[in-house]
Amino acid sequence: MCGIVGYIGRAEALPVLMDGLRRLEYRGYDSAGVALLNGGSIESRKAVGRIANLAEAIQQNPVHGKTGISHTRWATHGGVTFENAHPHSDQSGRLALVHNGVIENYQTLREQLLAKGHQFKSQTDTEVLAHLVGEAVDGAGNRTKAGLVEAVRMALRQVIGTYGIAVIHADIPGVMVGARRGSPLVLGIGRDEHFLASDVSAIVAHTREVVYLNDYEIVAVEAERFDISTVSGSGADFQVSTVEFSADAVDKGTFPHYMLKEIYEQPNSIRDAMRGRLSSEEATAKLGGLEMTNAQLRAVDRIVLSGCGTAFHSALTGEYIIENLAHIPVECEIASEFRYRNLPMDRDTLVFVISQSGETADTLAALRESQRKGHRTLGICNNVASTIARESDGGVYMHAGPEIGVAATKSFTSQLVILTLLGLLLGRIRHLSHAEGRTIISEMEKLPDLVAKTLELDAEIEKVARKYARANNFLFMGRQANYPIAMEGALKLKEISYISASGYPSAELKHGVIALVNEETPSVFIAPQDAVFDKNVSNIEEVKARKGPVIAIGTEGDTALAKICDDVILIPHAPDYLTPILSVIPLQLFSYHIGVALGCDVDKPRNLAKSVTVE
């Protein structure tokens, strides 16, 4: 959700902090602030709204220093106000702290501090944490690096909840302390300088050598060195990793928006998701990251797929694909519900959790709940150093590259490719013949080119989008594996344009949905040439009989849809198990162009965040 950037070194901190915050804008936020250690005092600047507002405030009242922390806030406790913006100070005003996460017992702690005479300036849980740390520093009277670390440790032992924090203290110059539990925090390693960030994309322009902190770890950072320990007080092992992408990978290039850039990256991201994972000789997929033998995979008699938002839609699509290719029962669970359900699962159930970031709080909780009950739980994510990647029993890395746009696009199709690979692998060790496996591989190898061909429809899709941009409601419908694609199309439109949209199985039209059909409500039908094409046509006829406008996604060469629909977009022909990957791309472009036509900030939709790291 929120973003953290910290710097300590020989250079001026402010340019590093502001550049990092701008690189984290995609995460979603409503206010921003910085705090710098300067000449024995801490100077803070805050602003409600965009980082541009913060930059203007700093221009009017400059701030300097070589140690600093900064933050973009997405409101949880307390409204969007100047007072609630981070950084927050302790009672003395000598300490500054930024925080991602939620302190669940903050009200109890706040009341205890109020009874001791503390005064608060905000309604946030974060300010309570700042006061706790400050009280521990003042109580110990130890104004050293070790004293600040111990104060952070004492405070964190009192809190219940999640946190990624960065702390500086005016009386302890040359030291910055960070800690995490449930909210990501990464240490960047430089030459005579170090960084803290909630996302490596904030600091990749300055260093590609990083340490991904684990839960309950505390790092004390100086310009020349760092030390990592735990909240319990013990030492901690760590591994220095090299970031696989460069700063150029998180730039828009010539595209007006990250979302459009990432839509157009899908031929490559899909190719990368398959790279080295298709074996024509054995006519199967190679997914070594699963850490399972064929015998272990053959013993699986049920699969559970879990995710949130777009990842849940990929799970629903994967259910159709895996059941079709492998004949294994698949069940999909929204991750936020999974941890609270008493879902009956026998010991031969295999669980997959799906998350682009690998840090989604609900999905991580589902992973831990599944493992707690003894089930092998694998991850499908895009960040090899993420918490889900590290804590899962194995999994598959998406190789989609950085996805900056809040609305997931290329990560969705990469997830579908991986689920198809999984279906092929499981199918081949059960019932699919060698010839059938070779045919599936051949079709999958064509996919990047088919996606590129689909992207050539962009100008045509933009015209259709502008035609319907002023509609207040949309219905999206599809059958079989394209039913979840209808849901995903509706979600994209809601996210990007704030238009009310809903996705349904086409056959549900007559079971209540048809009451919403009128001349002002467009219906988008995903109706490729497949086994249920005629059924989709019947549903389209029902909408047209009630004067509802219809936009259809059909298959190249189809002539029937043009006779009954107002607008038709024809995608290349592909097997049923690959069609969803092609059919979602026009819906991504459709949503994008409507959002642009309405003047929406498509890369940073209101109220949304790229990585949902709080419940």
Q: Is 180 helix (H, G, I), strand (E, B) or coil?
A: strand
Q: Burial-class residue 248 by CB neighbours within 10 Å (0-12, 13-18, 19+).
A: exposed
> Both tokens of residue 502?
């809903």
Helix (H, G, I), strand (E, B) or coil at 328: coil
**Structure tokens given for 362:** 């609900």
Phi, psi of 262 (to 5 degrees): -75, -30
Catalytic residue among 66, 145, 261, 610: 610
Phi first, then psi: give them for residue 51, nearest 5 degrees.
-60, -25
* 274 contacts: CB under 8 Å, gap ≥ 6: 417, 421, 444, 445, 447
2, 332, 565, 600: which is the annotated catalytic residue? Answer: 2
Q: CA–CA separation, 611 vs 615, rounded Å?
A: 11
**What is the three-class DSSP state of 548?**
coil
Q: Annotated catalytic, 308?
A: no
Q: Which two tokens stand for residue 147?
A: 């004293």
Question: Helix crossing, 410-428 with 310-326: angle to 10°?
Answer: 20
Distance CA 123, CA 116 (A): 18
Of 2, 13, 59, 57, the residue nearest 35 (C-alpha) = 13
| Gyration radius of the chain's alpha carbons | 26
Q: Which amino acid, residue 302?
A: R
Q: Which residue has the tokens 């406008």?
A: 549
Backbone angles phi, psi at 471, to 5 degrees: -70, 145
Residue ranges with strand state E in 323-368: 330-334, 349-355
Query: What is the C-alpha to C-alpha distance for residues 585 and 596, in angstroms, rounded to an integer?
Result: 17
Sheet with 550-555, strands from edge to edge, namely 500-505, 473-478, 523-526, 550-555, 567-571
Q: Which tokens belong to 289?
A: 């990251």
Residue 431 burial (CB count, 10 A)? 11
**Does 2 participate in catalysis according to the annotation?**
yes
Burial level of 69, CB count in 10 A (0-12/13-18/19+)?
Answer: buried
Q: What is the length of the chain?
A: 615
User: Encoding tokens for residue 283?
Assistant: 């006519």
Query: Which residues are CB-contacts of 419 (< 8 A; sequence separation ≥ 6)?
Result: 305, 314, 315, 317, 318, 321, 322, 380
Q: Is the dihedral of CA 258, 183, 142, 192 positive or negative?
A: negative
| Positions marked active-site | 2, 610
